[in-house]
Amino acid sequence: MCGIVGYIGQEPAAPILLDGLSKLEYRGYDSAGIAVFDGASIRMEKTVGRLRVLQELTQNGETMPGFCGIGHTRWATHGCPSDTNAHPHMNREHTIAVVHNGIIENYAKLKAALQKKGYEFVSETDTEVLAHLLTEYYRGDPIKAIEKVLSRVEGSYALGIMFLDHPHHIYAARKDSPLIVGFSGTGKFIASDVPAILKHTRTVYYMENEEIVSLSMEHIRFYNLDGEPLEKQPVTINWDIHAAEKGGFPHFMLKEIYEQPKAIRDTISPRIQGDDVALEELGLSDEQIRSIRKINIVACGSAYHAGVTGKYVLEGLARIPVEVDLASEFRYRDPILEADTLVIVISQSGETADSLAALREAKGRGAKVLGIVNVVGSSIAREADNVLYTWAGPEISVATTKAYSCQIAALYLLALKFAKVRGQIDPSDFSQMLQDLRNLPEQVEQLLGQKEQIQFFANRFLATEHVFFIGRGIDYAISLEASLKLKEISYIHSEAYAAGELKHGTISLIENGTLVVALATQENLYPKTISNIVEVKSRGAFVMALTNEDHKEMEHTADYVLYIPKTNRFFTNSLAIVPLQLFAYYISLGRGLDVDKPRNLAKSVTVE
Ligand code: F6R
């Protein structure tokens, strides 16, 4: 989604803004712009395309002198990607400049009212409404004008604003779109995410919904929407700066695939204590765990796929009925939630608009909400009753890998804990499964060693147009994620199918040479999946199978076979997904695509 950076301080602003925006590129964008106060006026440059174009246009910011400015990378919602629709947006007099993330839902009504008053619009964006509305309400006090504007807008926003009348100030506000404020010895910052300012400071304030802030050389002042001052405490970010850099890898995605052993270890190790799973952060007593009647898992995209795995594992081990919903569906389907329902919201960013709305819906209906979240202090983490953090570290590549792997690891822990407390698991099986969990990071490392073999195979299929991923049970859940990984970064059409379902229609799409990736890691379903492989092979499919290392006979059935080391059948997803992430990566690489920033996509989807 869009990215915001703002700076006021002792150093030239434009290079800091451009550098900050480059750290937010991972969020996805199609145009970029900056506005800087140059001592007399607010100067603005904006352009469609990559940040590189803006850097060239401004000679890395040198043509835009000044010590106070705001910048933006835009991911188009209202109006196509274009120079005009790019942010910042200014009023006609060029005395007010605005950058905005989110959506102003009632913008059409506001626009019509402003047009009646004679305001002229140059862009198709919802954001331009804000520039004109600020002009309408501004009487010399920026905070008062912002308060009035925000009382009229509906929707979500993170805003950075400059007023020519107050040239050494930046103003900002947020509602349902993330924004942080940071400060160092030499300046003050606003940003949509930590990497943008990590180089300059680790001391930040997380802005809450409906807060306004004013930043100058001397102060940072927070207000509520009634203009009353607020006291806030800064927090220290303990991210390693190198975690937000590529560290010698050609792409963030490959780096993050390679970080999975550590990420999984960091997520599970502190929670396996002796022969038990320690999850105090759940805030649930054993009695409460025993009284859960149903679990609803809600998430989007890959996090939803983690939830599908979670359903199999939680039902299989803890014997609790689980429903999994896409957050965008859940929030509007009038879900039936009782007091003994536990709702689990899974999200890497903790800012996904639909997941956040689903969380609020669930809380509003009296359910207890547990977040499985990666970004500390994010909206979902703050609003959930309790949080089970995944310790994947910052994930930059748009396509998730390590955060997904940590989400399923967190769900394993939860399932084991619930199974034990509810008396559904034999103590010796429990101990063996803890050992299997501890072994996962090393086994993932082992699989990463197959990278050349996978690259070689991927290169054979660079020109393929359709791929099907099939599997049963947990193998179906793996297929969903493997298929999404491939299509989102390679632009190859791909579908995941429950292997037994294919013959109910979709098998008609299989023809000579169609690539079918068959997952067969579930021992109890192995013979059934073999039958499904034979079905597609006899219709001409080329089958790449992925199975457990002791099923060498698969080579008699499939055309190409990848193996995963032995683990408990509930945990095979953690291993099987790794070669398939690499497969997607090498296909995208081989097709010459932008692996980390696929077209049309954003890292954190903060609009509905
Ligand atoms: C795909 C991907 C997305 C996200 C989805 C939810 O690789 O990353 O499908 O999983 O947008 O995002 P979070 O987990 O941030 O809520």
Q: What is the pLDDT of residues 414-443, one digit of tens each?
A: 999 999 999 999 999 999 999 999 999 999
Tell whether ligand 1 has an atom less than 6 A from the beta carbon of residue 604: yes
pLDDT at 53: 94
Whether the predicted pLDDT of 331 surpasses 90 = no
Confirm or reject: Cβ of 405 under 6 Å from ligand 1.
Answer: no
Distance 382 CA to ligand 1 centre (A): 19
Give the model confidence (pLDDT) of 41-96 as tens digits: 999 999 999 899 999 999 999 999 999 999 999 988 888 899 999 999 999 999 99
Six token digits for residue 170: 């930046």
Question: From atom 10 of ligand 1, which residue's Cα is the shortest distance away?
Answer: 302
Whether residue 191 has its Cβ less than 6 Å from ligand 1: no
Measure the CA–CA gap between 220 and 188, rounded to whole angstroms: 8
Q: What number is the average pLDDT over the span 134-152?
A: 96
pLDDT of residue 242: 66
Report d(CA 539, CA 503) in Å as an integer. 11
Atom 5, ligand 1: residue with shortest CA distance: 301
Structure token digits, residue 490: 């390679």
- Cα dihedral sign, 526-531-535-540: positive
Q: Is the CB of 300 under 6 A from ligand 1?
A: yes
Phi, psi (5° rounding) for residue 330? -55, -45
One DSSP character per residue, 595-606 reads: SSS-TT--SS--
Is the CB of 253 inside a 6 Å radius of any atom of ligand 1? Answer: no
Residue 397, C-beta contacts closer than 8 angstroms, at least 6 positions apart: 26, 251, 252, 253, 255, 256, 595, 596
Backbone phi, then psi, for 64, in 5-degree steps?
-125, 75
Placement of tokens 């949080």 in the chain: 387
How is residue 207 annotated by DSSP? P
> What are 237-245's contacts with CB under 8 Å, separation 24+?
237/194, 237/198, 237/202, 237/203, 237/204, 238/202, 239/194, 239/198, 239/202, 239/393, 239/394, 240/393, 241/198, 241/199, 243/393, 243/394, 244/23, 244/194, 244/195, 244/198, 244/394, 244/396
Do 359 and 334 form a contact (C-beta atoms < 8 A)? no
pLDDT tens digit string along 5-46? 999 999 999 999 999 999 888 777 889 999 999 999 999 999
Give ∠ CA 24-84-75 in degrees, rounded to 5.
30
Per-residue pLDDT, 599 = 86
pLDDT in tens, 381-397: 999 999 999 999 989 99
DSSP for 445-490 reads: HHHHTTHHHHHHHHHHTTT--EEEEEESTHHHHHHHHHHHHHHHHH
Instruction: Provide the β-strand partners of residue 277.
Output: 272
| Through-space distance between the first and last CA atoms of the chain, rounded to whole angstroms | 12
Q: How far apart are alpha carbons 56 and 43 in whole angstroms?
A: 16
Secondary structure letter of residue 44 according to DSSP: E
Model pTM greater than 0.85? no
**From the CB of 400, is ligand 1 less than 6 Å away?**
yes
- The residues annotated as belonging to the active site are 2, 603
CA-nearest residue for atom 1, ligand 1, is: 399
Residue 408 Cα to ligand 1 midpoint, Å, equals: 14
Distance CA 136, CA 114 (A): 9
Q: Which atom of ligand 1 is nearest to the CA of 605?
A: 11
